């Protein structure tokens, strides 16, 4: 449904996006994840026809964003980020704003009221339709932003930071709303917060300094980053860290081994670099050296750790 190929965008000499490619299948939710300034908004603006790319191409439902901008606009709903939340006219009432946007989008007069009510229904804002947007809570402003994006009943929704500035309860509500809309619609959302995309999206594209550093499902991404799992072993008594490092270092398929002394225990954290389960080897090595294992725990790298590994590679 969405096809982005070798997309680049320079603002004068400033590189904002370089050689980014990805696809999104119908009904999927794709998360564009990256720190501020990574290039997420730029990609979204190219997809919505706001900006022309410097290089590469993007297609929505088979239509090129540069060659067929009108066909593209018909099929997408865009919620853009403003200074204090979604870009809306804060002095208008909810209904008059939605009516204004519906006119801009070319909704025929006879259908307009019905279209607006449907969008308000989907986003749960009927009760506030006569309120001034500027006086609504952040959660409701975000819903109005979603409602205006839905007015042309788009196949594709592009949502820039849909949960920024919301409190935890509002975040859960907006997330649910977005999830409910997928399936029928294809969605791209951006965020600089990892758990956010992990919880909402089927697929994640990580952007850093304008380039794509990873693309995967959430589970795959964790697994890929340096083999994925880490194992924590607590040994009774204090062993010499160098000895522990040396002995465990002999096991094949181990990434880094970190040893620290905590309280009266030796704590070892090892990262797997292959796909093999290394717990048995860790056990055997301990027995051979007469170390008593008090605890052994296996855990996946958190997506935060994965993200750090992927985005800080150059500086390491
Ligand atoms: P994100 O949405 O990930 O925060 P942006 O796409 O907004 O990132 O920005 C990517 C880079 O492009 C940043 O370095 C930003 O300063 C720059 N940039 C964005 N918009 C413009 C513009 N209109 N003119 C010049 N530089 C811009």
Q: Best mutation site among 8, 39, 50, 161 for ligand 1, i.e. most ligand atoms within 8 A of its Cβ?
A: 39
- Straight-line distance from the first to the last Cα atom of the chain, in angstroms, rounded to the nearest whole number: 37
Q: Best mutation site among 7, 10, 16 for ligand 1, i.e. most ligand atoms within 8 A of its Cβ?
A: 16
Q: What are phi and psi of 165, to 5 degrees?
A: 80, 5
- Distance (Å, whole) CA 245 – CA 282: 12
pTM for this entry: 0.76
- Widest distance between CA atoms in the chain: 83
Residues with Cβ within 6 A of ligand 1?
11, 14, 16, 34, 36-42
By three-state DSSP, how is residue 272 classified?
strand
CA 82 to the chain's CA centroid: 19
Give yes or no for a contact between 228 and 300, defined as CB atoms under 8 angstroms apart: yes
Q: Rounded to 5 degrees, what angle do the CA atoms 124, 126, 127 make?
A: 105
- Reported as a single tens digit per residue, the pLDDT across 267-300 is 998 876 665 678 888 999 999 999 999 999 877 6
Pick from 204, 139, 129, 205: nearest CA to 177: 139
- Reported as a single tens digit per residue, the pLDDT across 178-235 is 988 888 899 999 998 887 788 889 899 999 999 998 888 877 776 665 555 678 899 9
- Reading the chain (316 residues) residue by residue, the pLDDT tens digits are 999 999 999 999 999 999 999 999 999 999 999 988 999 999 999 999 989 999 999 999 999 999 999 999 999 999 987 666 677 788 899 999 999 999 988 888 888 999 999 999 989 999 999 999 999 988 899 899 999 999 988 999 999 998 887 888 888 888 888 988 888 899 999 998 887 788 889 899 999 999 998 888 877 776 665 555 678 899 998 889 999 999 998 888 777 889 999 989 999 988 766 656 788 889 999 999 999 999 998 776 666 777 776 766 543 3
Pick from 275, 313, 277: nearest CA to 298: 277
* Protein residue with least CA distance to atom 5, ligand 1: 39
- Distance (Å, whole) CA 54 – CA 258: 46
Q: Rounded to 5 degrees, what angle do the CA atoms 136, 137, 141 make?
A: 70
By three-state DSSP, how is residue 294 classified?
strand
- Distance (Å, whole) CA 236 – CA 220: 35
Give yes or no for a contact between 97 and 135, defined as CB atoms under 8 angstroms apart: no
Q: Token match 């290394």: residue?
A: 278
CA 94–ligand 1 middle distance (angstroms) = 30
């Amino acid at each position: 449904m969405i096809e982005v190929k070798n997309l680049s965008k320079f603002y004068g000499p400033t590189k904002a996006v370089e050689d980014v490619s990805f696809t999104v299948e119908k009904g999927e939710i794709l998360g564009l994840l990256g720190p501020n300034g990574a290039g997420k908004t730029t990609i979204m603006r190219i997809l919505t026809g706001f900006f022309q790319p410097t290089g590469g191409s993007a297609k929505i439902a088979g239509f090129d964003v540069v060659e067929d901008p009108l066909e593209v606009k018909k099929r997408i709903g865009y919620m853009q980020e403003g200074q204090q939340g979604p870009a809306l006219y804060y002095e208008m009432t909810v209904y008059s704003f939605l009516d204004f946007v519906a006119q801009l989008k070319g909704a025929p007069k006879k259908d307009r009221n019905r279209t607006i009510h449907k969008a308000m229904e989907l986003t749960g804002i009927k009760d506030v339709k006569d309120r001034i947007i500027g006086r609504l809570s952040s959660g409701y402003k975000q819903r109005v932003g979603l409602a205006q994006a839905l007015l042309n009943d788009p196949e594709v929704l592009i949502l820039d930071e849909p949960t920024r500035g919301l409190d935890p309860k509002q975040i859960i509500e907006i997330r649910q709303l977005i999830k409910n809309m997928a399936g029928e619609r294809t969605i791209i959302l951006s965020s600089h917060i990892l758990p956010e995309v992990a919880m909402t999206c089927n697929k994640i594209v990580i952007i850093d300094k304008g380039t794509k550093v990873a693309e995967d499902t959430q589970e795959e991404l964790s697994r890929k980053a340096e083999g994925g799992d880490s194992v924590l072993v607590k040994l009774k008594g204090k062993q010499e860290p160098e000895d522990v490092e040396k002995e465990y270092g002999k096991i094949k398929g181990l990434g880094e081994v970190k040893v620290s002394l905590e309280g009266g225990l030796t704590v070892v954290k090892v990262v797997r670099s292959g796909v093999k389960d290394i717990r048995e080897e860790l056990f055997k090595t301990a027995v051979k050296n007469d170390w008593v294992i008090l605890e052994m725990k296996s855990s996946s790298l958190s997506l935060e750790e994965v993200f750090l590994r992927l985005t800080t590679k150059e500086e390491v």
